[in-house]
């Protein structure tokens, strides 16, 4: 088996259909080589090997309109092997994909120009090192961390099935798109890929096709070093349809494999494609080097000679290749898209409510009155756990927002995130309309799948214990990087989990969330702050949120005594002040489980004649986004005596308390004991906080 067609089949003139295939494939390969060589950085091997595979998919099967790359019913192509980014950029360029701005208006400029390819991996190029959603139109998901792309594609496939079950009507098949993902050995080794594949097989997602580039090479060398499993047997065990193409260059066999996938009605499909990375016979650099670094000028010339390509030509695109893409896949995609739009106009008149819902969903807008069901919680010293209040508010919102769907990684009874209103149902192999997803014990895949749902314009939530956000770190980061409004709900927010001990007590996790650019932290301190959190969260269109909630009951504050919870929208607000209206001597800052503790300490300090203020700071990200004048109003620079309270790491809190302030926080992983014993041991009592507050006043009084 060789990785290219024989020299005799290299395209020439006149150009006929088979030669156009080879000419197009060679164009993709040489563009990839030239881009990597110009950057002196990147991975040319996989794009060269997989060019026939990607070309066959795009030219013969992919339902995609380059002039409207956000068309709702397009097929999705995810390059999970993100290091092979030049393969995707070459396709986007040749297909003349149009760039789209965040307002969902076609801009009209090429998504990837030849200059972008020439500037591969350079500043401001639309061809960065790995594909980036929202940066390059036509990129369906940000990929690079191996395994996450294929996991994200499972979310897209679920979205397609749910949208079809929810919106399709007799005579109106608005949603029937397929999802393709190109992956490699690294994707197969990463655990998240296995998690996602297992769930996809269980759900029988027959609109999902993974294309596995089995080239047996990784960065360190042959996969024999660490990977010897039978992938085909594993996927058959997952319940997948598995087929194999023995030569990545066999366009007709590839075409047949994609046709078989489209005929499959009960299982996802894995197409195993055997390839040789690089362009042919082993070179002096070796195939591993061809995978992980530029070929070098001499090897590029040799490869072009092998393809029958002008050896000194760089970034060459024959006119007939542009015409071939325009007259073929682009024309087909545009025709299908126009037919769909005509169908949708009729649908909109026949089903106006569904049509409006689809419009709102696609534009990430909310229906009128979406928050009408959010209740106001009465003052209650016993109160509710954050997770309990969240369950009530989540259900009230989801009942008004039909495309708000999600679930937990096997923890819904504990996180209280099950949708319980009439008609919510469970998404399953036999019911695609259910709005409760069951991810199983697959935390990393759950977050990545939620990203895939959001990329399909569904508004998703996924939930688990805060401690298990460790398993989701990569997917959380990608939520923020892609600017997706995913709601990540985390409960059991502190050492308040008590007897479960330090393995289940999150300490450093809030710091991780707050350190992630673009990920909004939200840790409400009572039931009404939970309600107001949703009013702040739901209108967001480009920001993911980590909503962090308590396991234990928190007092519902009396808002006739304290400031209204609407201040949550600004990230932080003054909850309580000295009764005499005088400026405070000390400020207590808290959120979540510790807000009521700060209030208790405030009451003691007030009784002792100390002028104290309580600031609720549920979201550092939102508070930091406020104008400086507002922040100074809440935290006056003149008041240097400040105490922050959090049953987690103190990391980051000194920004808010200043060099003269104090932080009552954790410096260990916790311990296994009842909650009250833990609070006493680690200093989370009103008495301990009052002591620290008074010490802070004394300390600042003696300093200039």
Strands 269-274 and 380-385, bridge-based pairing: unpaired
- The reply to whether 224 belongs to the active site is no
* Of residues 343, 255, 353, 234, the one with CA closest to residue 59: 255
Q: Of the listed 132, 161, 443, 585, which one is catalytic?
A: 443
How many whole angstroms separate alpha carbon 14 and alpha carbon 34?
Answer: 26
For residue 187, give every residue at least 6 positions away whose Cβ sits within 8 Å of its Cβ, in sequence order, or none. 80, 81, 146, 147, 149, 150, 193, 212
**298: which 2 tokens?**
């001499």
* Of residues 399, 620, 607, the one with CA closest to residue 516: 620
CB 49 within 8 A of CB 213: yes
Q: Taking each helix axis from N to C terminus, what angle separates 443-455 and 473-481, rounded to the nearest 10 degrees?
A: 20
Q: What does the DSSP assignment read for 207-254?
A: TEEEEEEE--EETTEEGGGT----HHHHHHHHT-EEEEES-TT-HHHH
Report the first-to-last Cα separation within the chain, whole angstroms.
80
How many whole angstroms separate alpha carbon 397 and alpha carbon 93?
Answer: 42
Q: Taking each helix axis from N to C terminus, what angle separates 231-238 and 191-203, rounded to the nearest 10 degrees?
A: 40
For residue 124, give every residue at least 6 positions away whose Cβ sits within 8 Å of its Cβ, in sequence order, or none. none
Q: Taking each helix axis from N to C terminus, what angle separates 443-455 and 148-167, rounded to the nearest 10 degrees?
A: 50
For residue 284, give every residue at least 6 positions away whose Cβ sits within 8 Å of its Cβ, in sequence order, or none. none
- Burial (CB < 10 A; 0-12, 13-18, 19+), residue 655, is exposed
CB 140 within 8 A of CB 156: yes
Where do we find the tokens 């993100």? 82
CB 401 within 8 A of CB 458: no
Where do we find the tokens 């799948």? 449
**297: which 2 tokens?**
């000028």
170 secondary structure, DSSP code: T
How many whole angstroms separate alpha carbon 426 and alpha carbon 419?
Answer: 9
**227: which 2 tokens?**
């990977």
Reported as half-sphere exposure (CB side, CA atoms, 13 A), residue 16 has a value of 2
| Extended beta strands in 601-684, E state | 612-616, 642-649, 662-666
Name residue 273's beta-bridge partners. Answer: 213, 245
How many whole angstroms separate alpha carbon 202 and alpha carbon 205?
Answer: 8
CB 285 within 8 A of CB 266: no
* CA 582 to chain CA centroid, nearest Å: 47
How many whole angstroms separate alpha carbon 10 and alpha carbon 53?
Answer: 17
- Catalytic residue ranges: 443
């Amino acid at each position: 088996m060789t990785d290219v067609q024989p020299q005799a089949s290299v395209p020439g003139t006149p150009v006929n259909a088979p030669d156009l295939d080879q000419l197009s494939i060679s164009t993709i390969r040489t563009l990839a080589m030239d881009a990597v060589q110009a950057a002196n950085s990147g991975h040319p091997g996989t794009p060269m090997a997989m060019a026939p595979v990607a070309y066959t998919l795009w030219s013969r099967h992919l339902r995609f309109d380059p002039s409207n790359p956000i068309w709702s019913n397009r097929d999705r192509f995810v390059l999970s092997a993100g290091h092979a980014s030049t393969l995707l950029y070459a396709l986007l360029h040749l297909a003349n994909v149009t760039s789209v701005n965040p307002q969902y208006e076609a801009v009209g400029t090429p998504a990837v120009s030849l200059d972008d390819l020439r500037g591969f991996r350079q500043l401001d190029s639309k061809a960065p090192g790995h594909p980036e959603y929202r940066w390059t139109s036509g990129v369906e998901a940000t990929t690079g961390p191996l395994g996450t792309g294929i996991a994200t594609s499972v979310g897209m496939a679920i979205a397609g099935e749910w949208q079809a079950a929810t919106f399709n009507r007799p005579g109106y098949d608005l949603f029937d798109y397929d999802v393709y993902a190109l992956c490699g050995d690294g994707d197969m080794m990463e655990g998240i890929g296995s998690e996602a594949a297992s769930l996809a097989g269980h759900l029988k997602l027959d609109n999902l096709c993974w294309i596995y580039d089995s080239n047996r090479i990784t960065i360190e060398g042959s996969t024999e070093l660490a990977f010897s499993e039978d992938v085909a047997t594993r996927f058959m065990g997952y319940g997948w349809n598995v087929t194999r193409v023995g030569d990545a260059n066999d366009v007709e066999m590839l075409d047949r494999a994609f046709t078989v996938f489209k005929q499959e009605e009960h299982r996802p499909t894995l197409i195993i494609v055997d390839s040789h990375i690089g362009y042919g016979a082993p070179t002096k650099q070796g195939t591993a080097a061809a995978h992980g670094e530029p070929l070098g000028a001499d090897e590029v010339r040799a490869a072009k000679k092998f393809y029958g390509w002008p050896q000194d030509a760089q970034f060459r695109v024959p006119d007939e290749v542009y015409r071939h893409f325009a007259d073929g896949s682009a024309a087909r995609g545009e025709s299908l898209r126009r037919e769909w739009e005509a169908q949708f106009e009729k649908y909109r008149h026949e089903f106006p409510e569904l049509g409006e819902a689809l419009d709102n969903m696609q534009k990430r807008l909310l229906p009128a009155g979406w928050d009408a069901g959010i209740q106001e919680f009465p003052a209650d010293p016993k109160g509710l756990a954050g997770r309990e209040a969240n369950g009530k508010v989540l259900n009230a919102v989801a009942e008004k927002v039909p495309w708000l769907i999600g679930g937990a990684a096997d923890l819904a009874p504990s996180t209280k995130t099950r949708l319980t209103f009439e008609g919510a149902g469970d998404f399953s192999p036999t019911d695609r309309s259910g709005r409760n997803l069951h991810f199983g014990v697959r935390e990393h895949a759950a977050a990545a799948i939620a990203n895939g749902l959001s990329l399909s314009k569904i508004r998703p939530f996924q939930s688990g214990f805060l401690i298990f956000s460790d398993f989701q770190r990569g997917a959380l980061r990608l939520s923020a990087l892609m600017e997706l409004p995913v709601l990540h709900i985390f409960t059991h927010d502190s050492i308040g989990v008590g007897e479960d001990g330090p393995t289940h007590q999150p300490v450093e996790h809030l710091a991780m969330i707050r350190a992630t650019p673009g990920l909004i932290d939200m840790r409400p301190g009572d039931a009404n702050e939970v309600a107001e959190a949703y009013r702040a969260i739901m209108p967001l269109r480009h920001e993911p949120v980590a909503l962090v909630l308590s396991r234990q009951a928190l007092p519902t504050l009396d808002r006739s005594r304290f400031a209204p919870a609407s201040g949550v929208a600004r990230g932080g607000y003054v909850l309580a002040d000295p009764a005499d209206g005088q400026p405070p001597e000390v400020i207590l800052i808290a959120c979540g489980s510790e807000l009521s503790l700060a209030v208790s300490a405030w009451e003691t300090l007030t009784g002792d004649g100390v002028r104290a203020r309580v600031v609720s700071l549920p979201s550092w990200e939102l508070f930091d986004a406020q104008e400086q004048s507002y922040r100074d109003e809440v935290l006056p620079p003149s008041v240097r005596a400040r105490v922050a309270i959090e049953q987690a790491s103190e990391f980051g809190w000194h920004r808010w308390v200043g060099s003269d302030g104090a932080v009552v926080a954790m410096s260990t992983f916790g311990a296994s004991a009842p909650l009250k014993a833990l609070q006493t041991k680690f200093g989370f009592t009103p008495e301990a906080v009052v002591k620290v507050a008074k010490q802070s006043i004394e300390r600042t009084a003696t300093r200039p």
